[in-house]
Structure 1
Amino acid sequence: MATYAARVSNVAAKVAQGTSVSEALSGESASIALASGPLRFVPGDSAPPGEAYEAFIHRTACVPTRDNLHDFFNGLVWLHYPESKRRLNELQAAEIARDGIGATRGPLRDALTLFDENGAVLDAPKPLWDVLRARDWRGLFVTHRPLWREARLLVFGHALLEKLTVPRKAATAHVLIAPGEMTSGALDDATIAASLHPAHLATKPFTPLPVLGVPGWCVQNENFSFYDDSEVFRPRRDAERSPTPSPCDGGAA
């Protein structure tokens, strides 16, 4: 959350004075542009009937924004990581243009939506990655706890940011496993955007991480019995062959 702190203060102050969320966010977006023009935030009902949300953004460079926390955080991520959000939107719009809007999104759009809503990016030493992918929670949070001093975790998904305003122990991020190494600079906007390859994303390359287990994110985790909760810190199932996402707020299945 600290990543967004300065802009949270600026935008929230304007909203507290009666400005709409879309207007408050637009006041911060002057330097950002999409292919179709300068980025703007517009009222939530601005898209014409029948036009998909992502297609409308791609066509107009306008992000429909309601006066609620969910869209407030979506706007903050747009302001802080415009290249990554633009890349997500371009990929979504291309899929919509090709296949239209059906009953299901398909694997690529599912992955794009999951990362946009609930994704996170981790810059960490290899031993932390190894135990995270194995869902060895004791190894991740107890045995290798000192290594978290060398790690950085960015919550990218705006739905997860919203959930963390009222934290629950089961709040689970889906950490992107990039197609190549993401070490130094992994939380940089350009680096994240460059890692968003369609073929890779279509495999749903994410691994779950209960974020309140991260050292420093919750005072209760200083007592290691915090990690004994098997409803949140679930072991990896033998049948799993790849990091399959768990429900957005239901623990690390």
Structure 2
Amino acid sequence: MRFVAPLRESLDPTVFRRPPLDAWSEFSDLLQAPAWPTIEQIGALRERVENAAKAIMPQFVEQTPGLLRDGLHYEKRIVECGQIATRTGNWHDLFNALVWLRHPAIKSALNARQIAEIAVVGAKRRTRAQCALTHFDEAGVIVRIEDPALLALWDTHDWHGLFWRERAAWSDGRIRLDLFGHALLEHALRPGQLLVGKALAIAPCADLPARLARAIRAGDALNDPQELRPLPLSDIPGWHEGNAEETFYATAPCFRARRAGRSYPLPFGAGESRNAPACAGSSGPS
């Protein structure tokens, strides 16, 4: 069933004070004002990002019938015209813009890889890499793991262990996440859903956003959807009212056993010391 976001005027404002949307409070003016932000308002923030990063970022432009008459693929318009087609009055595209503002290098890297794959197979076919790139773009979560024991629980889908027995890990810094996928942010507008992210596990690593962007652009990451681990976000302590009870972890339908033969790659940056200047497998700015 296609997700329908709530109308702006009927939205419960408390959703912005709960995870995961509370982590985007720097954009509260765009998210919580009575009226939808204009392309110009979003563009003003883009200029700040450009000045801070000292790098050119694509412009947000209103998606109109006139704009689409050029027949360009969405991804090609970004690289060839420097334009991110953005629907006004649309939660999905607003969250996409916010992720661009927070992680411009990673978003640019995803775009560059999509263009490279389109050049190989054409606009009407999709490679395994394109599926991985899209899954991460729409539902991605960047998860930094300080405690290897937590990764072992995750790899075996020991959800009770990861979310209940190690409940404290989600607040003491042993595991931290940054929700990247703009579709997940849109879904979070309706509390109570059992959201599941497509997570990229990250080992302790210096200058993470830039190095991850370089790895994606170089084809050293996100080549197959199987690189991404499922992460039931609603099971993180405090993210869903039901998970205050242990029984939630035995009954919620978002928990799935690991499929026979399913395995996961090492976390991005595994094998490097936390003070190393680069992450393993990485080869530009966030």
Q: Return the TM-score normalized by structure 2.
A: 0.74
Mean CA deviation greater in 226-235 or 206-215:
226-235
Which residue matches 2:179?
A: 155
Relative to structure 1, the CA distance from residue 199 to residue 31 in structure 2 (aligned partners, 3 Å threshold; closer, same or farther) is same
Partner Cα distance (1:171, 1:101) in 2: 30
Structure 2 counterpart of 1:108, from 114, 121, 129: 129
Aligned match for 1:6, one of 26, 31, 38 = 26
| Distance of 1:153 and 1:201 partners within structure 2 | 18
Provide the residue aligned with 1:50 in structure 2.
Answer: 71
Verify: 1:139 aligned to 2:161, yes or no.
Answer: yes
Query: Which of the numbers 120, 127, 132 marks the counterpart of 1:98?
Result: 120
Contact 2:192 2:240 in 1 (8 A): no
Cα deviation for residue 219 of structure 1 reads 3.2
1:70-122 Cα shifts (integer Å, max 9, x gaps): 000000000011111111111112222333212x3111111111100000011
**Equivalents in 2 of 1:185, 1:233: separation in Å?**
32
Structure 1 pair 19–155 and aligned structure 2 pair: CA distance change class (3 A): closer
Write the mapping of 1:14-33 to structure 2, written as runs, cut at 5 A: 16-17=34-35, 19-20=37-38, 22-32=39-49
Give yes or no for contact 1:30–1:39 (8 Å, CA) kept in 2.
Answer: no
Cα 1:19–1:215 shift into 2, 3 Å? closer
- The percentage of aligned residue pairs carrying the same residue is 31
Name 1:221's counterpart in structure 2.
Answer: 243
Matches within 5 A, 1:173-212: 173-177=197-201, 182-184=203-205, 188-196=208-216, 197-204=218-225, 205-212=227-234
Separation in 2, partners of 1:230, 1:222: 12
Q: What's the C-alpha RMSD, in Å, of the aligned pairs?
A: 2.4
Shift of 1:32: 4.3
Runs of 4+ deviating beyond 3 Å: 15-19, 31-34
CA–CA distance in structure 2, aligned partners of residues 222 and 157 of structure 1: 25
Conservation of the 8 A alpha-carbon contact between 1:87 and 1:193: yes
In structure 2, C-alpha distance between the alignment counterparts of 1:185 and 1:211, rounded to whole Å: 25
CA contact (8 A) 2:110 2:133 kept: yes
Q: Which amino acid aligns with 1:232?
A: C
- SS of aligned partner of 2:198: strand
Change (3 A) 1:185 1:139: farther
Which residue of the partner structure matches residue 40 of structure 1?
A: 59
Distance of 2:256 and 2:37 partners within structure 1: 43
What SS does structure 2 have at the residue aligned with 1:42?
strand
User: With CA pairs under 8 Å and 6+ residues apart, which has the higher RCO, 1 or 2?
Assistant: 2
Report the residue type matching 2:87 in the other structure: R
CA distance in 2, matches of 1:217, 1:12: 20
What are the Cα deviations for residues 137-181 of structure 1, in whole angstroms up to 9, with x where unaligned? 01101222222222211110000110011134421001014xxx5
Task: Give aligned pairs, total.
Answer: 234
| Alpha carbons of structure 1 residues 12 and 169: separation in structure 2 relative to 1, 3 Å | closer
Cα pair 1:54 1:93 within 8 Å, conserved: yes
Query: Where does the alignment leave 5 or more consecutive residues of structure 1 unmatched?
Result: 244-253
- Segments of 5+ residues of structure 2 without an aligned counterpart are 1-20, 266-286
Does 2:103 match 1:81?
yes
What residue number does 1:250 align with? none
CA-to-aligned-CA distance 1:203-238 (integer Å, 9 cap, x gap): 321010110101122232111111112521111122
Structure 1 pair 168–142 and aligned structure 2 pair: CA distance change class (3 A): same
Q: Distance in 1 between matches of 2:187 and 2:25?
A: 16
